[in-house]
Protein backbone atom coordinates (compact mmCIF):
# COMPACT_ATOMS: atom_id res chain seq x y z
CA UNK A 1 0.00 0.00 0.00
CA UNK A 2 2.93 2.34 0.76
CA UNK A 3 4.32 1.78 -2.71
CA UNK A 4 0.95 2.46 -4.28
CA UNK A 5 0.57 5.80 -2.50
CA UNK A 6 4.16 6.75 -3.33
CA UNK A 7 3.51 5.94 -6.99
CA UNK A 8 0.19 7.79 -7.14
CA UNK A 9 1.28 10.98 -5.37
CA UNK A 10 4.76 11.10 -6.91
CA UNK A 11 3.28 10.40 -10.34
CA UNK A 12 0.66 13.12 -9.92
CA UNK A 13 3.34 15.72 -9.07
CA UNK A 14 5.41 14.71 -12.11
CA UNK A 15 2.33 14.75 -14.34
CA UNK A 16 1.59 18.31 -13.19
CA UNK A 17 5.13 19.27 -14.23
CA UNK A 18 4.72 17.63 -17.64
CA UNK A 19 1.44 19.45 -18.25
CA UNK A 20 3.13 22.78 -17.42
CA UNK A 21 5.97 21.95 -19.84
CA UNK A 22 3.67 20.94 -22.68
CA UNK A 23 0.83 23.41 -22.33
CA UNK A 24 2.48 26.62 -21.15
CA UNK A 25 5.47 28.67 -22.28
CA UNK A 26 7.18 28.18 -18.89
CA UNK A 27 10.85 27.18 -19.04
CA UNK A 28 11.98 24.10 -17.08
CA UNK A 29 13.93 26.31 -14.66
CA UNK A 30 10.82 28.32 -13.85
CA UNK A 31 8.80 25.17 -13.22
CA UNK A 32 11.49 23.86 -10.86
CA UNK A 33 11.44 27.11 -8.86
CA UNK A 34 7.64 27.05 -8.80
CA UNK A 35 7.65 23.50 -7.41
CA UNK A 36 10.12 24.30 -4.63
CA UNK A 37 8.17 27.42 -3.65
CA UNK A 38 4.92 25.49 -3.77
CA UNK A 39 6.43 22.85 -1.46
CA UNK A 40 7.40 25.54 1.07
CA UNK A 41 4.00 27.18 0.85
CA UNK A 42 2.02 23.95 1.26
CA UNK A 43 4.20 22.88 4.19
CA UNK A 44 3.63 26.24 5.89
CA UNK A 45 -0.11 25.71 5.46
CA UNK A 46 0.25 22.25 7.00
CA UNK A 47 -0.96 20.47 3.87
CA UNK A 48 2.30 18.85 2.78
CA UNK A 49 3.19 17.13 6.08
CA UNK A 50 0.32 14.59 5.94
CA UNK A 51 1.02 14.05 2.23
CA UNK A 52 4.68 13.29 2.95
CA UNK A 53 3.69 10.83 5.67
CA UNK A 54 1.22 9.09 3.41
CA UNK A 55 3.32 8.89 0.24
CA UNK A 56 6.85 8.82 1.70
CA UNK A 57 9.42 9.15 -1.05
CA UNK A 58 6.60 9.79 -3.54
CA UNK A 59 6.15 13.25 -2.01
CA UNK A 60 9.67 13.83 -0.67
CA UNK A 61 11.77 13.03 -3.74
CA UNK A 62 10.06 15.37 -6.27
CA UNK A 63 11.10 19.04 -6.01
CA UNK A 64 8.09 19.98 -3.91
CA UNK A 65 9.67 17.66 -1.31
CA UNK A 66 12.75 19.91 -1.33
CA UNK A 67 10.49 22.83 -0.45
CA UNK A 68 8.95 20.67 2.26
CA UNK A 69 12.40 19.96 3.74
CA UNK A 70 13.29 23.69 3.52
CA UNK A 71 10.16 24.72 5.45
CA UNK A 72 10.41 21.90 7.98
CA UNK A 73 14.06 22.69 8.70
CA UNK A 74 13.20 26.35 9.17
CA UNK A 75 10.37 25.62 11.64
CA UNK A 76 12.59 23.27 13.63
CA UNK A 77 15.47 25.76 13.81
CA UNK A 78 13.15 28.60 14.83
CA UNK A 79 11.86 26.42 17.69
CA UNK A 80 15.40 25.67 18.81
CA UNK A 81 17.33 28.89 18.16
CA UNK A 82 14.68 31.56 17.83
CA UNK A 83 14.61 34.06 14.99
CA UNK A 84 18.15 33.23 13.77
CA UNK A 85 16.80 29.79 12.94
CA UNK A 86 14.71 31.36 10.17
CA UNK A 87 17.98 32.06 8.35
CA UNK A 88 19.91 28.88 9.17
CA UNK A 89 17.19 26.23 9.33
CA UNK A 90 16.32 25.94 5.65
CA UNK A 91 19.79 25.08 4.46
CA UNK A 92 20.43 22.80 7.47
CA UNK A 93 17.24 20.89 6.76
CA UNK A 94 18.14 20.39 3.10
CA UNK A 95 21.89 19.90 3.58
CA UNK A 96 21.65 16.20 2.75
CA UNK A 97 19.85 16.87 -0.52
CA UNK A 98 22.18 19.69 -1.57
CA UNK A 99 25.35 17.73 -0.77
CA UNK A 100 24.01 14.62 -2.53
CA UNK A 101 23.18 16.69 -5.65
CA UNK A 102 26.68 18.14 -5.76
CA UNK A 103 28.52 14.87 -5.03
CA UNK A 104 26.52 12.62 -7.35
CA UNK A 105 26.33 15.30 -10.04
CA UNK A 106 30.10 15.54 -9.97
CA UNK A 107 30.59 11.77 -10.06
CA UNK A 108 28.17 11.31 -12.97
CA UNK A 109 29.82 14.17 -14.89
CA UNK A 110 33.16 12.40 -14.45
CA UNK A 111 31.88 9.06 -15.71
CA UNK A 112 29.38 9.90 -18.47
CA UNK A 113 29.29 12.10 -21.56
CA UNK A 114 26.07 13.69 -22.84
CA UNK A 115 24.87 12.36 -26.21
CA UNK A 116 22.57 13.57 -28.94
CA UNK A 117 19.19 11.81 -28.95
CA UNK A 118 18.64 9.60 -31.99
Partner 1 sequence: MGKRIGHRTVKFTNAPAIISFASAAGENEKKGPYGGYFDLTFDDGLWGEKTYELAERKMLTRVSQEALKKAGLTPADVSYMLAGDLLNQIISSGFAARALEIPFIGLYGACSTMAESVMLGAMLADGGYALNVLCATSSHFATAERQYRNPLELGTPRTPTAQNTVTGAGALVISAQKAGFPAVTFATAGRVIDLGINDVSDLGAAMAPAAAETIITHLEDTDRGADYYDYIITGDLGTFGSEMLLRMISGTGRDISANHRDCGVLIYGGDKKMGCGGSGCGCSAAMMCGYFLNEMKNGRINRMLFTATGALHSPTSMLQNETIPAIAHAVAIENGSVV
Neighbours of 15 (CB within 10 A): 10
Q: Does 15 bind partner 1 (CB under 8 A)?
A: no
Q: What is the DSSP letter of 82?
A: G
Q: Where are the alpha helices (DSSP H) in 61-94?
A: 63-81, 85-93
Candidates 82, 110, 111, 118: give the one binding partner 1 (CB under 8 A).
Answer: 118
Give the C-alpha separation, 101 to 113, whole Å.
Answer: 18
Give the C-alpha separation, 49 to 96, whole Å.
Answer: 19
Residue count, binding to partner 1 (CB under 8 A): 9
Candidates 21, 84, 91, 95: give the one binding partner 1 (CB under 8 A).
Answer: 21
The 31-50 site mask, x for binding partner 1 (CB under 8 A), equals --------------------
Q: Does 102 bind partner 1 (CB under 8 A)?
A: no
Q: What residues make contact with partner 1 under the rule CB under 8 A?
A: 21-22, 25, 28, 109, 114-116, 118
Amino acid sequence: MNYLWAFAIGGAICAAGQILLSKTMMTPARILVLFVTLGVFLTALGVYEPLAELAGAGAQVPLTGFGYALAKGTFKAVDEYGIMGALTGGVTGTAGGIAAAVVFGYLVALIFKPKVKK
